[in-house]
Amino acid sequence: MAFKYGAGLGAVGSYQVAGVPWITGSGAEGLPGSAEHKIEFPTVAKSVLVMMFDPTNDAPLRVSFNSTGSGNVVGGNHFYPLTSTRDAVSFGVKCKEIYISNTTSNTSGYVVVAELTGISSNEMFTLTGSGLTD
């Protein structure tokens, strides 16, 4: 039986090649106060950039790998804060989703740019545990 190499979570080549570009954002309506958006990628991402983009409000946002309502995401500080317009964070990680939450009553906006692999998001495990939800 011959081995057939293909895209997968453990396939180094899936992360070495340039990723397929993918961009989304909160749109003109923004992220309402005290709301959370779940951003699901069509395939596993190998890197993600999130930028706060709201020229009027500067309402702080939180970026996390789990919902702020799950585990100890907020209490354990398992999120990255974006506090002013053009503030950004870049993660070089494999993931199938991220969460962006608004911490105030003001509307705020964001843009997400990802590099996608050829790996099906169904193959990606759920990110939980120490540093994520515990």
> What was the pLDDT predicted at 132?
95
Judge whether residue 79 has pLDDT over 80. Answer: yes
16-123, CATH topology level: Jelly Rolls (2.60.120)
Question: What average pLDDT does the structure give for the chain?
Answer: 92
pLDDT tens, residue by residue, 21-76: 999 999 888 899 899 999 999 999 999 999 998 766 667 899 999 999 999 999 99
Alpha helices in the chain (DSSP H): 13-16
* Torsion angle in degrees (nearest 10) through CA of 44, 49, 55, 61: 80
pLDDT bin (cut points 50, 70, 90) of residue 84 is confident
Nearest to 13 by CA among 102, 118, 91, 106: 118
Q: What are the residue boundaries of the structural domains of the chain, listed by start?
A: 16-123
Cβ count near 70 (within 10 Å) = 14
Handedness of CA 25, 101, 18, 9 (dihedral sign): negative
